[in-house]
Chains A and B, each alone.
Chain A
């Protein structure tokens, strides 16, 4: 049997302790291991995606126990794509980290980075809801470490709030899990899908509570209004590369919502009707609005980008909340875009930060390496604001197009279009102030703007933007693939049977499915 499906999780889980054990004091060795690790992840991601592309659902029974009794990993089109996206992002972020020497500003950066990857990969690959919780905790605690990497008072305070808020989130997750187990007596997602169908229409409170609490848990991760409050200061205060890596973390929430609310609680399922299939869209609209208004309101560049992230999550959620294959396909296309765009913006912010007194949206003397940085910012801003020619625009078109026929199409359109106008104006103001007006300010003699960002940093950001361009040019094939993903999600039988009917240790065909 092959073990490839688990390697994205195990590799970092072995690398990290090894780094701690062997290379604790040798930054050079750590970097080598980190880079090798993330590069390997990309290869793995490609291989797994290739495997899944024809619609096969790979499964991996841990401890050789059959689902639903043991934990199981599942690799389908969606999860493998997320794995690849994570790996690619991780490589570029790692390059920037090395280029900007961020990893030297504190201890254990690389170990924490690897553990972070382990958590994210696990969350994408697991087919067991409690195991999902465990991996959420892994990626969270690693993110705490990365978030406060390098210290600093403001960062520590923001970090404390970030941790506290997520502790509440974890508690809620456990409540939801308790509810789920109490109601269904199982933890495996496929088995849940089966058992949720058994819920009788005259006793629905239990399953409704479970469904709603779980949605809230993921909503916190995905920063959906009103549970987004933790995001702005956390992302703004986190080290640039870490914030860039966090661009995928909100997507973990989005992924979980897509997975759970297509597989386990499909919108047309009677007992859980009238909740996420209605309220998620309202929340998503609010998220779009708040994010875009926040972009206009922000007084500092980093917070501005943080709000842009919220806005783009709103777009993703909007597409998801249509709960149609077309909508999910659009959501996935936009998700990839917003991950790359947000990451590049955070890295650019970090480039600007180093040679400015602060990140207020006020003109000071030109930052070190202003011209290339300005060009990158211009591109990234275009992407984020959803202007042509970059993928943001195409994603926006996809979402608007998918929302045709939906009851609240007028709302969706006006929120999306007005929202992007606001962000265009806001980014225009910010950019022209930061990079153009700066030209008119003499550099004081006594100030040293410090060195320009290293070539490697530019390579990293350029790589992200290059990926955005590729995402635009090959939008045709990409949308074709996301559509195939959506179709797989809306026809979950293959997934369910494959998971539940593959026998494992001591399982007779009789108890193969657990009922």
Chain B
């Protein structure tokens, strides 16, 4: 079967359990089993070629530019691991079917399980190391889901998070390592990389790469000091523990080290790091395991210890070490999975995993007792069981290994570990099954159905078979070892047998077993000492680290982002000023190319007023009415300035805009407090003033710089001056630019205005339909209102000038193309005329005489402008292409008709609509806010107020 299919099957199959969930537990587990079985058989179909020593590879491109391709390869090593993953997977599925209770969502469980299985198979079959990384992280994620499967258990959630954090960290480090490796070799294909041992080991980046990759492997395989996450992962359902923490996930790290063995091993760095970590882990795990009371914790730490053992073997870098390692991987997978499942059975039957509450179970659950005892003895390294064989080889190898020039160091530690491992294994047997039968089990224990004890029994059969007849697997193990060694080393001739003669390993082994027995006998004493001795609790440290990181992060982030706009603005100001200053000082200023023009008294006077008003505004800003007046003066002076510097259109615009703005602000001030209290401290104000002055100088320097220099080339406006009349049909170049050369800007500009009005209207709606309405209604004006609302003089005046103003507006609009003016200014003038009506006779009166809905006016204006633009499509010209002609209707002199004028009309409409809708919205607030207002055009008789107020 194609390797693609083998990898894909579990992933595709992951969809099925969820679907079959309703169909019942058997259907759900059945379909899962079938999926794994299919993949398993598919794998077996490749056995012949593997036995023949071939390497099966398939591949398709994924991201060729990056070098990440979907290439798979199957050699002895890959086959070996895939075999374990899928084979034990089958047993686990069968076991889980009977283990999970009815409240557990089986579909969810098996979905995660298959995802995990697929990811694992992907790891061991990947040829591309980036692809391997993808699967690697996928195992972290899917195991996160599996460990946290019982979501209601805090231990489950924490264990899952811890596992994710630790293995995730490793994975990220590995990304770095793999990328470096790929850069050294120039390819991310394992098949290529494995050929370049010398190139890699000679490269200066070898050590960083090694460190990063080992970080990944150690975290995954729970090597010291990253071993602590594994026991906490035991919160998962037992099938998960049996699968992830005996056979597969934790072996991923081992697999990686075996995979990379040919190119990474054999250097002193590799030896010290890998063997060192392995030895420590091996001893540490074994010692701790002896003193745990939870069956699964004992097994967890024993797993840690055995992983250390394998790591240590791989670290030695000798062919025999690799040989022993491979063999032990196989043996450990068999007996450890069996042990976990048995532990699960006991938990299932007695509802406890606490050894102290167990004992004497051999009478009650004989089958389980037999299974677990054999498996445990194998773990202890008792002859005629497979564990013995590989442990012998490990001890053998240890005697050959010299570390730090001390011949006894490695053997001693190895024996010590073996001794403790025998100890906890024996204790497991003794304290669980032997001793007197008790009457205080949480539940009445008895052997479970075949469904539960079948799978472990099968594994135990293997344990015994390999134990007594190792030659059955010897060839296979050698093939696998060969693929680990690659071309770097010769396959060792040593063959697996039970009796090697009186070699040191035998004595060490005997010492271990004997010592183990003693440990069990003295256990109660040792336990007391152990409990008495203080030692670091990894979980506590981990939690403390995480939470300290969190609080550190908070102290860094939260104060900076607490919604203090003043600080945001200050940060922005300082950044901008600083950056500008940097750009200035690092540049060359160059000499001035323009002569300054002498200032006239008029200009000076205007400047003085502007400056005075600005200062006034700054110093009087707490009194809002005064501030507003100052604002008005500033705006006025700016428009005067525009006049002075020959920009009449700007002047008119600035002036009219100023007028409307002031009106808006007045309306707003109506509601807002009319003073700002003094809040900022003197220090703050000094600081702000400092920033402000710096900014001011910056702006001044910039302006000064540009004003005295010419552009690098003639400004494009020369073209506009030259072609305004010829091409735009207007003599007012500014207006022609607005409606023709850069009409698209104007189009956007009126849309902005339109949106502004819509926004304001929408906001008013929301406010008036929300709680604010009530607040407005019960609001007491904080400043006394004038007695007469609508003074007669003003009313009469506005009524009279209304038509005049409208005429002016029309005139300004019409002449706009040739003289200062145009749609925008005209629009503002018209609006001002209407606004005067509002001011004179109040909102109610005016808006009751309102004929057009302003939304419509805005929409019409924007549409008109847009359609004018589209119109030019019909003459096959681009958007907003203008055309014009001169017509002469006697007796009038000839005048111009330009499409631009229609566009300008759109502008006018949009402006009027926008301004009026805005005012409308404000006025609606005002009306709700119970401001005195009368429906009458003028107030002659104040007594009428009363009646209207009740009415209002």
Q: Answer yes or no: B777 CB below 8 A from chain A CBs.
A: no
Whether the pair B563, A424 counts as a contact (CB closer than 8 A) is no
* Measured CA separation A398–B175 after assembly (Å): 12
User: CB within 8 A of A297: which of B141, B553, B591?
Assistant: B553
Secondary structure of the A contact surface, majority rule: helix
Whether the pair A476, B61 counts as a contact (CB closer than 8 A) is yes
Whether the pair B144, A209 counts as a contact (CB closer than 8 A) is no
Q: Answer yes or no: A3 CB below 8 A from chain B CBs.
A: yes
Q: Answer yes or no: A490 CB below 8 A from chain B CBs.
A: no
Task: Given the known inter-chain contacts A18-B863, A198-B712, please indicate yes or no for A161 contacting B588, CB distance below 8 A.
Answer: no
Stretch in A91-99, A229-237, A246-254 with 4+ CB within 8 Å of B:
A229-237
Whether the pair B549, A148 counts as a contact (CB closer than 8 A) is no
* Measured CA separation A485–B872 after assembly (Å): 33
User: CB within 8 A of B580: which of A213, A413, A435?
Assistant: A213
Q: Answer yes or no: B715 CB below 8 A from chain A CBs.
A: yes
Considering the complex, give the chain A residue whose CB is closest to the CB of B748: A134
Considering the complex, give the chain A residue whose CB is closest to the CB of B182: A401
Interface centre among A230, A397, A437 (most CB of B within 10 A): A397
Mark A287-305 against chain B: 1 for CB-CB distance below 8 A, else 0: 0001001101111000000
Whether the pair B151, A161 counts as a contact (CB closer than 8 A) is no
Task: Given the known inter-chain contacts A112-B758, A439-B151, please indicate yes or no for A505 contacting B881, CB distance below 8 A.
Answer: yes
* Measured CA separation A385–B583 after assembly (Å): 36
Q: Which residues of B contact A299 (CB under 8 A)?
A: 554, 558
Q: Which residues of B contact A298 (CB under 8 A)?
A: 557
* Measured CA separation A275–B587 after assembly (Å): 10
B858 CB to closest chain A CB, in angstroms?
A: 7
Whether the pair B157, A17 counts as a contact (CB closer than 8 A) is no
Interface centre among A157, A183, A401 (most CB of B within 10 A): A401
B335 CB to closest chain A CB, in angstroms?
A: 33
* Measured CA separation A13–B63 after assembly (Å): 40
* Measured CA separation A16–B766 after assembly (Å): 20
Q: Which residues of A contact B711 (CB under 8 A)?
A: 181-185
B940 CB to closest chain A CB, in angstroms?
A: 39
Whether the pair B715, A185 counts as a contact (CB closer than 8 A) is yes
Q: Which residues of A contact B169 (CB under 8 A)?
A: 421
| Interface set, chain A 180-237, CB cutoff 8 A to B | 181-188, 191, 195, 198-209, 211-213, 215-216, 220, 226-227, 229-230, 232-233
Chain B interface residue count, CB cutoff 8 Å, equals 125
Whether the pair A187, B716 counts as a contact (CB closer than 8 A) is yes
Task: Given the known inter-chain contacts A201-B588, A436-B157, A514-B716, please indicate yes or no for A388 contacting B134, CB distance below 8 A.
Answer: yes
Q: Answer yes or no: A138 CB below 8 A from chain B CBs.
A: yes
Task: Given the known inter-chain contacts A63-B741, A387-B141, A417-B173, please indicate yes or no for A203 contacting B762, CB distance below 8 A.
Answer: no
Whether the pair A432, B157 counts as a contact (CB closer than 8 A) is yes
Q: Answer yes or no: A258 CB below 8 A from chain B CBs.
A: no
Whether the pair A69, B741 counts as a contact (CB closer than 8 A) is yes
Task: Given the known inter-chain contacts A17-B859, A17-B863, A297-B557, please indicate yes or no for A122 contacting B587, CB distance below 8 A.
Answer: no
Q: Which residues of B contact A18 (CB under 8 A)?
A: 859, 863
Q: Which residues of B contact A106 (CB under 8 A)?
A: 762, 765-766
User: CB within 8 A of A141: which of B747, B759, B763, B856?
Assistant: B759
User: CB within 8 A of B755: which of A115, A400, A505, A511?
Assistant: A115
Whether the pair B580, A161 counts as a contact (CB closer than 8 A) is no
Q: Which residues of B contact A198 (CB under 8 A)?
A: 712-713
User: CB within 8 A of B860: which of A21, A296, A480?
Assistant: A21
Q: Answer yes or no: A411 CB below 8 A from chain B CBs.
A: no
Interface centre among A185, A200, A274 (most CB of B within 10 A): A185
| Interface set, chain A 241-300, CB cutoff 8 A to B | 271, 274-275, 279, 290, 293-294, 296-299
Task: Given the known inter-chain contacts A64-B878, A274-B586, please indicate yes or no for A186 contacting B151, CB distance below 8 A.
Answer: no
Q: Which residues of B contact A199 (CB under 8 A)?
A: 712
Q: Answer yes or no: A101 CB below 8 A from chain B CBs.
A: no
* Measured CA separation A112–B757 after assembly (Å): 11
| Interface set, chain B 148-169, CB cutoff 8 A to A | 148, 151-152, 154, 157, 160-161, 164-165, 168-169
Task: Given the known inter-chain contacts A387-B137, A420-B172, A514-B716, please indicate yes or no for A432 contacting B160, CB distance below 8 A.
Answer: yes
Q: Which residues of B contact A394 (CB under 8 A)?
A: 63, 66, 68
Q: Which residues of A contact B863 (CB under 8 A)?
A: 14, 17-18, 21
Whether the pair B579, A212 counts as a contact (CB closer than 8 A) is yes
Secondary structure of the B contact surface, majority rule: helix
Whether the pair B66, A479 counts as a contact (CB closer than 8 A) is yes
* Measured CA separation A437–B110 after assembly (Å): 21
Whether the pair A417, B569 counts as a contact (CB closer than 8 A) is no
Q: Which residues of A contact B550 (CB under 8 A)?
A: 296-297
A321 CB to closest chain B CB, in angstroms?
A: 15
Stretch in B631-639, B701-709, B780-788, B831-839 with 4+ CB within 8 Å of A:
B701-709
Task: Given the known inter-chain contacts A165-B572, A397-B130, please indicate yes or no for A204 contacting B587, CB distance below 8 A.
Answer: yes
Whether the pair B866, A17 counts as a contact (CB closer than 8 A) is yes
Whether the pair A475, B62 counts as a contact (CB closer than 8 A) is yes
User: CB within 8 A of B749: which of A134, A172, A388, A476?
Assistant: A134
Q: Which residues of B contact A417 (CB under 8 A)?
A: 172-173, 175-176
User: CB within 8 A of A168: which of B161, B572, B751, B759?
Assistant: B572
Q: Answer yes or no: A464 CB below 8 A from chain B CBs.
A: no
B483 CB to closest chain A CB, in angstroms?
A: 26
B63 CB to closest chain A CB, in angstroms?
A: 5
Q: Answer yes or no: B560 CB below 8 A from chain A CBs.
A: yes
Whether the pair B584, A205 counts as a contact (CB closer than 8 A) is yes
* Measured CA separation A14–B862 after assembly (Å): 8
Considering the complex, give the chain A residue whose CB is closest to the CB of B170: A421
Q: Answer yes or no: B849 CB below 8 A from chain A CBs.
A: no
Q: Answer yes or no: A494 CB below 8 A from chain B CBs.
A: no
Whether the pair A185, B745 counts as a contact (CB closer than 8 A) is no
Q: Which residues of B contact A208 (CB under 8 A)?
A: 583-584, 586-587
Interface centre among B68, B561, B590 (most CB of A within 10 A): B561
Task: Given the known inter-chain contacts A1-B876, A14-B866, A108-B758, please indicate yes or no for A428 contacting B743, CB distance below 8 A.
Answer: no
Q: Answer yes or no: B589 CB below 8 A from chain A CBs.
A: yes
Mark A1-37 against chain B: 1 for CB-CB distance below 8 A, else 0: 1010010001001101110110010000000000000
Considering the complex, give the chain A residue whose CB is closest to the CB of B157: A432
User: CB within 8 A of B716: which of A24, A62, A191, A389?
Assistant: A191
* Measured CA separation A24–B762 after assembly (Å): 11
Whether the pair A179, B855 counts as a contact (CB closer than 8 A) is no
Considering the complex, give the chain A residue whose CB is closest to the CB of B168: A424
Q: Which residues of A contact B546 (CB under 8 A)?
A: 425
List 18 A–B pairs whose Cβ atoms lie within 8 Å, in order of A's numbering.
A13-B751, A17-B858, A118-B751, A131-B742, A131-B744, A134-B748, A141-B759, A145-B762, A203-B709, A209-B583, A209-B702, A220-B572, A275-B583, A294-B561, A394-B68, A432-B151, A436-B157, A476-B61
9 smallest CB-CB distances across A and B, nearest first, come from A203-B590, A185-B711, A185-B715, A21-B859, A151-B766, A182-B706, A297-B553, A436-B151, A134-B748
6 additional A-B pairs beyond A182-B711, A400-B175, beta carbons within 8 Å, are A3-B873, A63-B881, A182-B709, A185-B712, A226-B571, A432-B157
Residues of B participating in the A interface, judged by any CB pair closer than 8 Å = 61-68, 130, 133-135, 137-138, 140-141, 144, 148, 151-152, 154, 157, 160-161, 164-165, 168-169, 172-173, 175-176, 179, 183, 546, 549-550, 553-554, 556-558, 560-561, 563, 565, 567-569, 571-573, 575-576, 579-580, 582-584, 586-591, 699, 702, 705-706, 709, 711-717, 719-720, 723, 726-727, 740-745, 747-749, 751-752, 754-756, 758-759, 761-763, 765-767, 770, 855-856, 858-860, 862-863, 866-867, 869-870, 872-873, 876-882
Residues of A participating in the B interface, judged by any CB pair closer than 8 Å = 1, 3, 6, 10, 13-14, 16-18, 20-21, 24, 60-65, 68-71, 106-108, 111-112, 115, 118, 122, 130-131, 134-135, 137-138, 141-142, 144-145, 148-151, 157-158, 161, 164-165, 168, 172, 175, 178-179, 181-188, 191, 195, 198-209, 211-213, 215-216, 220, 226-227, 229-230, 232-233, 271, 274-275, 279, 290, 293-294, 296-299, 307, 329, 382, 387-389, 393-394, 396-398, 400-401, 404, 413, 417-418, 420-422, 424-425, 428-429, 432, 435-437, 439-440, 475-476, 479-480, 483, 505-506, 511, 514-515
